[in-house]
Structure 1
């Protein structure tokens, strides 16, 4: 059986390549609205961050997403992102790497 190719993406915080399923996509629409994109299919400019709370905290401290997406994000967005990543990491630990 033929091995399927696993899509890789680069985390904007660490610069490391990871499988797409191990990252979360943050998008900026044409209107400048920034949102977490759990499906990875929303239109707009995208940036990937690893599903690791420490990496999200680093992005928050250094304001990496502000620079990459060329917007000014408030602390509430970073808090929401951190909570989302913690939740996803807990789900992976409970249910495995499935969904």
Structure 2
């Protein structure tokens, strides 16, 4: 039997490559909203991040999230992402 290929993605915060299921996808939808994609299948431009507060801080500091999503990220969305990451860490 063939081994099933595991899709790998890079975290925009720490730049480590991990399995897609280990990361959280943040997607810019076609109507220009930012959302956390729990299914990994929503349409739109996506960026992957480790499910830790530290990686989110790094991604915001080095503007990796903005570059990946081709959009500026305002404070309201940043707070929402932090809140949802805290819920997922628990």
Q: Give me the TM-score of the superposition, normalised by structure 1.
A: 0.76
Q: Distance in 2 between matches of 1:49 and 1:39?
A: 14
RMSD: 1.8
Query: Which structure has the larger Rg?
Result: 1
Q: Is the 8 A contact 1:12 1:49 kept in 2?
A: yes
Matched residue, 1:28: 28
1:89 aligns with 2:73: no
Runs of 5+ consecutive residues of structure 1 not aligned to the other structure: 91-99
- Comparing 2-11 with 20-29, greater Cα deviation is found at 2-11
1:29 Cα shift? 2.1
Structure with the larger RCO, 1 or 2 (CA within 8 Å, 6+ apart): 2
How many residues are paired up? 90
Q: Is the 8 A contact 1:8 1:19 kept in 2?
A: yes
